[in-house]
Structure 1
């Protein structure tokens, strides 16, 4: 028996609804760099070890963006079958190879704070590339079946 680890189809809509606000807040964190004072709380920190005062704005933004992209990327299609599973698998492999190739190239060419900004974006690169590639291939597949 094959296990299916995909989310139900309704999670894709939830993912898109979550994606918009969390993408905006993540870009604010990335390009503005300011910490919102209204979300400052005492938080356990590993480095440096102890309790520190920290704004949760950037953490909540990243968690929300990650969850929304996971919901979008890994929700079942209404007509999920072996062909769509194959498209999903090939798209994920392509996205992984492309994202890590880009990471290797950019590691050799980008330095200092610009590199840290790139790494922040690269955390989500595999999911972004997968969603784009998967939807393009799924569109081509469905269009060829309708002809």
Structure 2
């Protein structure tokens, strides 16, 4: 069965590089207010966007692109069983993400909740990557035991 949504496996490494670099940039912009010099938005209406730098947007785009490249990269031996594992891992990641959202909806308030929502955008692909790689590890262990 051919899945047209998957990209070649070599993009997984590129995705990891983009994700790690963009995550570091995002943390630098969030916690140390780092801005790329000369990356400011020039708008005629300076009252709303007097000094708006696009570094944060670049970091967010990089994290999203990197996570999607990792998530949708093919494995070396892509078959129907692996497709089923992918589907189950996506289901798990969505359930966990919404479970976290539901719990923290009653625990966090105000700007803390909005900050959490920004990070919660990444919960689905991150949980998917973790669960999928763990499932692949278990599958390889099972196949190795069968070969003995």
TM-score, normalized by length of structure 1? Answer: 0.87
Structure with the higher fraction of residues in strand conformation? 1
State the Cα distance separating 1:31 from its structure 2 match. 2.7
Q: Distance in 2 between matches of 1:43 and 1:97?
A: 41
Q: Distance in 1 between matches of 2:94 and 2:44?
A: 33
| Residue 132 (structure 1) aligned to one of 130, 135, 138 | 130
Q: Is the Cα contact below 8 Å between 1:43 and 1:53 reproduced in 2?
A: no
Q: Is the Cα contact below 8 Å between 2:28 and 2:34 reproduced in 1?
A: no
- Could you say if the C-alpha distance between residues 67 and 24 of structure 1 is closer, same or farther in structure 2, counting changes exceeding 3 Å? same
State how many pairs are aligned: 142
Determine whether 1:75 maps to 2:69: no
* RMSD (Å) for aligned C-alpha atoms: 2.1
Where in structure 1 are there 5+ consecutive unaligned residues? none
Where in structure 2 are there 5+ consecutive unaligned residues? none
Larger Rg: 2
- Which segments of structure 1 move beyond 3 Å, counting only runs of 4 or more? none
- Could you say if the C-alpha distance between residues 82 and 52 of structure 1 is closer, same or farther in structure 2, counting changes exceeding 3 Å? farther
State the Cα distance separating 1:131 from its structure 2 match. 0.4
